[in-house]
Structure 1
Amino acid sequence: MAADSPTILATSGGLRSGVRTRYEFSPLTELAVDLAGVTGRAPRICFLATAQGDNPAVLHELYAAAQLRGLAASHLSLVPMPNVADVEGHLLEQDVVWVYGGSVVALLALWRLHGVDRAMRAAWAAGVVLTGVSAGSICWHTGGTTDSFGPELRPVTDGLALLPYSNGVHYDSEPRRRPLLQQLVADGVLDAGYATDDGAGVLYRGTEYAGSFVETDGAATYLVTSNAAGEAEETRLDVQRL
């Protein structure tokens, strides 16, 4: 099964604390699974924790969440070597690819070294739903703001660019995220783009914005652009509560 068009759900959410497991999938991840349109079998989901250095503890907790939800889980790791012989083939077999947060610059570097960037583009074009949180949101865009380099946020400008926009994550919970994204867009360092509060996600069909969804009351999404005077403009978008 595949989504009926290339589909990305870019989020600052998708996980919550579990009762019997560390994590459970929350409504944003449930939406990504629903978008894949799987019937008659367990949806296949592939986890990438590249941005966490392929931390086996993180992968273990994601597998536990998948088992609880009844998903057929696999993972793609790259360190010390890829764990599958055919990266693109493995991703094309999935219904959903779910990317965990961490260092987006490390993620991008390792993906390019191992051809995961090309494999992701192929999976996206084939209708595999791409989703994730934080670094797993920024990566699909042209860039965003990141703490990958240190405590002071800095721009990352070499995202996969499946989507021709910048991306801001944790927009309401980390004080420097909002003003820095606006400054970088106003200065032309980053493209105009979309930002998500914690608990919010932005859906794209192809390269077009297709709606905003929230799993937390009060969470919001935003469009950040630059006007003719070179000033940032922020527009709060309509959202659907999951």
Structure 2
Amino acid sequence: MGKIVAIGGGELRQGETEKIDRFIVGLSKKDAPRLLFIPTASNDAEGYIELVKDKYGQLACKVDTLCLVTNIYSDEQIREKIFNSDIIYVGGGDTERMMEKWKEHRVDVYLKEAYKKGIVLSGLSAGSICWFVFGHSDSEYFKNQNQWQYTRVYGLGLIPAAHCPHYNEEGRETFDGMMFNESIPGFALENSTALVEIDGKYQILKADEKRKAYILRSKGNCIIKEELPEGEFYF
């Protein structure tokens, strides 16, 4: 009974994902859902935490945080925060560092359990890559801003596909090449779009109708790219 909302990007502060944010809250089927924000990828940036508390607080959420970089928790405290949530929202930033930190604290294991329990899993950018088999990541940028390239970072594999967020931004087209000879499909999402998975059924959700989402498949020496309209689809 899994629920995932993977957001391709967009400025939360500017309301660019508001339609998607409201959808996430609605999936919980609670009047005042408990939302756990995991800001590991941003190194627990205080401004980001306050922004999520404000935006989701306006949507009647009771927001808590799991700050693995700046706080020390026992294993039981981590489990309690995750499993007492109705919604988990993972923030953007350095995907590779986030996945490493999660493994240190078994957060990867607990999030997979949360999926099975029907807790709504969501997130943006690094917080969307994490739900897929692997993603097109800018993690090298955080190590050397003058010389870097997009790399493959592995996620939890809850969605059996690859993923590229921010597909409308410069350089993201290199995801197409990354998909060569892959047996799994890839989902490329522009900002203000999301891929939604509910109990094995998939749909595209758009906060901006002008933005696009694509599915990419490797076939022979070609990459076949198909635009996905808003609504349900199969793959």
In the superposition, the TM-score normalised over structure 1's length comes to: 0.86
State which of 80, 86, 89 in structure 2 corresponds to 1:89: 80
Q: Does 1:12 align with 2:8?
A: yes
The 5 Å alignment of 1:196-207 reads 196-206=189-199
Point out where structure 2 has 5 or more consecutive residues left out of the alignment.
none
Give the match's secondary structure for 1:29. Answer: helix
State which of 176, 183, 192 in structure 2 corresponds to 1:182: 176
State which of 110, 131, 135 in structure 2 corresponds to 1:140: 131
Cα 1:113–1:32 shift into 2, 3 Å: same
Cα 1:106–1:167 shift into 2, 3 Å: same
Cα 1:32–1:107 shift into 2, 3 Å: same
Percent of pairs identical after alignment? 24
State which of 208, 212, 218 in structure 2 corresponds to 1:220: 212
Residue 29 of structure 2 corresponds to: 37
Cα 1:209–1:225 shift into 2, 3 Å: farther
Cα 1:157–1:13 shift into 2, 3 Å: closer
Stretch moving more, 122-131 or 52-61: 52-61
State the superposition RMSD in angstroms: 2.0
Distance 1:177 1:160 in 2: 22
Q: Does 1:239 align with 2:227?
A: no
Q: Is the 8 A contact 1:14 1:28 kept in 2?
A: no
Distance 2:133 2:72 in 1: 25
Aligned residues: 225
Distance 1:82 1:14 in 2: 30
Counterpart amino acid of 1:7?
K
The 5 Å alignment of 1:52-71 reads 52-71=42-61
The 5 Å alignment of 1:120-135 reads 120-135=111-126
Counterpart amino acid of 2:52?
L
In the superposition, the TM-score normalised over structure 2's length comes to: 0.88
Cα 1:169–1:24 shift into 2, 3 Å: closer
Distance 1:233 1:46 in 2: 37
State which of 145, 154, 157 in structure 2 corresponds to 1:158: 154
Residue 116 of structure 1 corresponds to: 107
Q: Is the 8 A contact 2:134 2:154 kept in 1?
A: yes
Offset, 1:83: 4.5
Point out where structure 1 has 5 or more consecutive residues left out of the alignment.
none
Give the match's secondary structure for 2:154. Answer: coil
Give the match's secondary structure for 1:153. Answer: coil
Q: Is the 8 A contact 2:132 2:159 kept in 1?
A: yes
